[in-house]
């Protein structure tokens, strides 16, 4: 089977005071948690160097939350994949719905960011997901297909890419799709990935994200074709993040 990944996304949360939670997450994975589960915490760029240092003695890895497509240049305020790599990242999230909605990251930009991640030696976590209006219109599977067509470069492999299915309406709301809806979406994503990339995509991880909590993790992460979780709010508290990882 596919080794599951439990990944955190701290978003625009955390200062150096938050590094203690990260220490506790690292320690939790040192002692007792199933070695079959891989763990990653994506943190604000300001914390990445310290986070990578703290986690270096643990099985947990540190990641970035976004990157610029270019390696360097006159892009004030931006951060390249190479810079994230240099600061200690192993992965970077690209195309999170908050960036798609707030920062103009469309499929073409997400596609370029995924390629930038690989150029720097990072694993790209490419996020997709439908809005509430799209779900209500019955367009969910079409939206997922369109986003995969546009956002996933043809050289994506199970080693360099992870897909995160995050229904926009489930992010930060406490709402989640039913297990049956998650199963349908993930099976659709799997089929589309195999159509796009070939049989090797059968091994590509597809994470579920959106209001994952300790109380729903067992149900959501037990769904077929769910190979882990992308956890926002609950990744800020070590106890919650560890409890979610224990769902495996
Ligand atoms: P929440 O877990 O806070 O709903 O956020 C999910 C998410 O956006 C992870 O990338």
Q: Read off the pLDDT of residues 63-79 as tens digits, 9 standing for 90 and up.
A: 999 999 999 999 999 99
At 156-202, the pLDDT tens digits run 999 999 999 999 999 999 999 999 999 999 999 999 999 999 999 99
Provide the pLDDT confidence category of residue 35 given band limits of 50, 70 and 90.
low
**CATH number of 241's domain:** 3.20.20.70
Output the CA 218–ligand 1 centroid distance in Å: 17
In terms of pLDDT, which residue wins out, 33 or 150? Answer: 150
174 lines ligand 1 (CB under 6 A): no
User: What is the domain count for the chain?
Assistant: 1
Q: Which long-range contacts (CB under 8 A, 24 or more apart) does 231-235 make?
A: 231/6, 231/7, 231/8, 231/9, 232/8, 232/9, 232/11, 232/171, 232/172, 233/172, 235/7, 235/8, 235/9, 235/10, 235/41
Whether 188 is catalytic is no
122 lines ligand 1 (CB under 6 A): no
Question: What average pLDDT does this structure show over 40-60?
Answer: 97
Index of the ligand 1 atom closest to the CA of residue 171: 4
Index of the ligand 1 atom closest to the CA of residue 213: 2
- Decide: pTM greater than 0.80: yes
Note down the domain range covering 111.
5-245
């Amino acid at each position: 089977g596919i080794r599951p990944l439990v990944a955190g996304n701290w978003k625009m949360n955390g200062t150096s005071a938050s590094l203690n939670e990260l220490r506790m997450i690292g320690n939790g994975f040192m002692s007792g948690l199933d070695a079959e589960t891989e763990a990653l915490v994506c943190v604000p760029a300001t914390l990445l160097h310290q986070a990578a240092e703290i986690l270096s003695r643990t099985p947990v890895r540190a990641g970035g939350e976004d990157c610029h497509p270019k390696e360097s240049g006159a892009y004030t305020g931006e951060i390249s994949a190479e810079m994230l790599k240099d600061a200690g990242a192993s992965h970077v999230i690209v195309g999170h719905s908050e960036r798609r909605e707030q920062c103009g990251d469309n499929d073409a930009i997400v596609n370029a960011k995924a390629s930038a991640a690989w150029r720097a030696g990072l694993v790209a976590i490419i996020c997709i997901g439908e809005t509430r209006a799209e779900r209500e219109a019955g367009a969910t599977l079409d939206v997922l297909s369109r986003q995969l067509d546009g956002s996933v470069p043809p050289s994506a492999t199970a080693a360099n890419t992870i897909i995160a299915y995050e229904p926009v309406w489930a992010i930060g709301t406490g709402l989640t799709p039913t297990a049956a809806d998650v199963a349908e979406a993930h099976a659709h994503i799997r089929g589309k990935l195999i159509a796009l990339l070939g049989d090797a995509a059968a091994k590509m991880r597809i994470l579920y994200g959106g209001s994952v909590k300790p109380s729903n993790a067992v149900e959501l992460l037990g769904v077929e074709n769910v190979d882990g979780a992308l956890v926002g709010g609950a990744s800020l508290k070590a106890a919650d993040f560890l409890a979610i990882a224990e769902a495996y």
